[in-house]
Amino acid sequence: DGGITQSPKYLFRKEGQNVTLSCEQNLNHDAMYWYRQDPGQGLRLIYYSQIVNDFQKGDIAEGYSVSREKKESFPLTVTSAQKNPTAFYLCASTQAGGNTIYFGEGSWLTVV
């Protein structure tokens, strides 16, 4: 089935550790995005990439990093510099020139 796969679904991290969330899509979409969702708040854009080997900061990029070495993959690293990393993270993608963004199932990150 075509879609966006995020892993792991649940992740626990100790303070001071970096963690990487995986996002893979087989929709042949050019653009990929990472959003963060906190309870009672709208989705906030962390990073986005419109083509391979290029990405831009969103509204809340501090404490996060990404890479886009392959069209299908856009991993997000939550670094120890992110002060409040516990949240629900959503990966999304869209076609080149397309307007509608499609989402993966999300990853829960909890700092313990």
Partner 1 sequence: EDQVTQSPEALRLQEGESSSLNCSYTVSGLRGLFWYRQDPGKGPEFLFTLYSAGEEKEKERLKATLTKKESFLHITAPKPEDSATYLCAVRGGAQKLVFGQGTRLTINP
Binding stretches for partner 1 (CB under 8 A): 4, 6, 33, 40-45, 58, 88, 90, 92, 99-106, 108
Minimum gap (Å) between residue 80 Cβ and partner 1 = 26
Minimum distance, C-beta of residue 18 to partner 1, in the bound complex (Å)? 24
| Contact of 22 with 75, CB cutoff 8 Å | yes
Biggest alpha carbon–alpha carbon distance for the chain = 41
Helices (H), 1-112: none
CA proximity to 111, closest of 90, 79, 88, 85 = 85
In whole angstroms, how close is the CB of 12 to partner 1 at the nearest point? 16
- Judged by CB, which is closer to partner 1: 4, or 76? 4
Residue 16 vs 84, nearer CB to partner 1: 84
Residues 34, 23: Cα–Cα separation, whole Å: 9
